[in-house]
């Protein structure tokens, strides 16, 4: 792979491991990001400051370096541009049609239903369209309200009544690019995410993750644990469902991050992203529990190479996000070295800076800090994570 060149969309903290893994296997890295001080600036072989909407400059960089492939990590915003660029350059990426099905949750649901992939029943409420009891008569409360094309839990709420639907409708619409929202049945059960790599039509499930979310009406992910605490039979059913879902959308030669609800009648699809998982699941969590680098695998399939997906370990890993009292001002951030030196800690990060005001967590971008831990048992992993999260909280001085 010494002559391969990969164009990486984004050079933020979520793309650092993507850059590093590409370099570890001898691939030349060209990273683009709109931020001049992006963390990956110093790690990529070449770095360019380019706006996320500047297609021509992006294409010029790709042609200049004669890129062999394109990839991103944990982001959805650049996918449409990437699909267009891949078509013009003749490099590996899924088609614009697949891109739309992976970004548009209504098109996704239609594909699931068309291919008999179990999922929640729902209706589409377009921008400006008023709602009444008759339009949702096919569903029963509680229901889930979500934007047609948002991300990171923005605008996703559980509704207990029609009045709550009216109360939160504009809030959800705010996060949709065109104001369209989806109202769907609430699936009662346990929620999991599934990390996969698809190469030449074959999907390989790397890990299943147990999710911990906030109390409703919001459903913000506050923790992820691997491997998930489910039976062998449940694991088989979940992985089979995800493979069907990947196929129904037409995803190939790509990483994917699926969300699944394990209900009383079996697993059902929530949604699936044709990308690496966020919340550091792909970059750190999965590697800590399996030894498999999802970032490396994503680079490899983007270049047309068989991915390295053989496990080298079987451990437990967990990431937890901190929750702070809303309305407090950050006075000082103490050095986090003592957190990183704790047993089992692999990764820790604070997203606040002095002067920031803590917020109520209504979507993922409002979470203030996180810590990631690995251990040999589930119980020990959770214990060490609790301890590390407490120490991390002590490093944030509030007024």
CATH number of the domain within which 126 lies? 3.30.1490.20
109 occurs within a structural domain:
no
**253: its two tokens:** 């030669």
The answer as to whether 307 is a domain residue is: yes
According to the model, what pLDDT value does residue 74 have?
83
Q: Are residues 24 and 126 in the same domain?
A: no
With respect to residue 105, please indicate whether it lies within any of the assigned structural domains: no
The CATH code of the domain that includes 309 is: 3.30.470.20
Whole-number pLDDT of residue 155: 87
Looking at the structure, do residues 169 and 264 belong to the same domain, yes or no?
A: no
Structure tokens at 280: 């550091």
Give per-residue burial for 53-73: e unless 16+ CB within 10 Å, then b. Answer: eeeeebbebbeebebbbbbbb
Range of the domain at 336: 321-399
How confident is the model at residue 1, as a pLDDT? 43
Query: In the chain, how many domains are there?
Result: 4
Task: Answer with the one of 185, 220, 240 that is the final residue of a domain.
Answer: 185
The whole-angstrom separation of Cα 87 and Cα 95 is 8
Q: Tell me: do 220 and 296 sit in the same domain.
A: yes
Is 200 in the same domain as 237?
yes
Q: pLDDT by residue for the chain (399 residues), tens digit each?
A: 448 999 999 999 999 999 999 999 999 999 999 999 999 999 999 999 999 999 999 999 999 999 999 999 888 899 999 999 999 999 999 999 999 999 999 999 999 999 999 999 999 999 988 888 888 888 889 999 999 998 777 888 999 999 999 999 999 999 999 999 999 999 999 999 999 999 999 999 999 999 999 888 888 999 999 999 999 999 999 999 999 999 999 999 999 999 999 999 999 999 999 999 989 999 999 999 999 999 999 999 999 999 999 999 999 999 999 999 999 999 999 988 889 999 999 999 999 999 999 999 998 999 999 999 999 999 999 999 999 999 999 999 999
Q: Give the DSSP H or E segment for 1.
A: none
In the prediction, which pLDDT does 150 show?
82
Distances (CA, A) of 256 to 206, 260, 318: 10, 13, 20
The backbone torsions φ and ψ at residue 152, rounded to the nearest 5 degrees and listed phi first, read: 55, 35
What is d(CA 95, CA 108) in angstroms, rounded to the nearest whole number?
A: 15
Each residue of 297-319: b (16+ CB within 10 Å) or e?
Answer: bbbbbbbebebebeeeeebbbbb
How far is 193 from 366, CA to CA, in rounded Å?
21
């Amino acid at each position: 792979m010494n002559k391969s060149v990969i164009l990486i969309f984004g050079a933020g903290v979520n793309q650092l491991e993507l850059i590093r893994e590409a370099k570890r296997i001898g691939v030349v890295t060209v990273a683009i990001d709109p931020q001049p001080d992006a963390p990956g600036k110093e790690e990529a072989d070449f770095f360019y400051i380019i706006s996320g909407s500047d297609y021509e400059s992006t294409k010029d960089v790709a042609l200049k370096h004669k890129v062999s492939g394109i990839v991103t990590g944990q982001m959805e915003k650049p996918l449409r541009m990437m699909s267009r660029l891949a078509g013009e350059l003749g490099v590996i990426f899924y088609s614009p049609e697949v891109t739309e099905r992976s970004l548009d949750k209504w098109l996704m649901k239609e594909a699931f239903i068309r291919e008999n992939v179990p999922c929640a029943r729902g209706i589409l409420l377009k921008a400006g369209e008023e709602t009444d009891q008759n339009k949702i008569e096919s569903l029963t409360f509680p229901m889930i309200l979500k934007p047609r094309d948002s991300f990171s839990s923005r605008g996703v709420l559980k509704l207990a009544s029609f009045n709550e639907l009216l109360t939160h409708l504009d809030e959800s619409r705010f996060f949709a690019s065109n104001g369209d929202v989806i109202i769907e049945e609430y699936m009662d059960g346990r929620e999991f995410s599934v990390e996969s790599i698809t190469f030449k039509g074959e999907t390989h499930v790397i890990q299943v993750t147990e999710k911990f979310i906030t109390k409703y009406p919001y459903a913000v992910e506050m923790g992820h644990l691997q491997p998930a605490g489910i039976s062998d039979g449940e694991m088989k059913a979940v992985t089979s469902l995800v493979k069907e879902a990947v196929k129904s959308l037409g995803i190939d030669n790509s990483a994917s991050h699926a969300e699944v609800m394990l209900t009383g009648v079996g697993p059902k699809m929530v949604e699936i992203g044709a990308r690496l998982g966020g919340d550091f699941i792909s970059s750190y969590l999965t590697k800590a529990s399996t030894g498999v680098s999802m970032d490396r695998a994503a680079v490899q399939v983007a270049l047309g190479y068989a991915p390295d997906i053989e496990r080298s370990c079987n451990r437990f890993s967990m990431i937890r996000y901190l929750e702070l009292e809303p309305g407090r001002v950050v006075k000082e951030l103490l050095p986090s070295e003592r957190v990183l030196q704790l047993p089992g800690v692999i990764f820790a990060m604070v997203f606040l800076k002095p002067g920031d005001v803590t917020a109520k967590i209504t979507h993922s971008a409002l979470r203030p800090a996180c810590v990631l831990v690995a251990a040999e048992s589930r119980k020990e992993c959770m214990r060490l994570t609790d301890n590390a999260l407490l120490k991390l909280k002590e490093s944030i001085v509030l007024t």
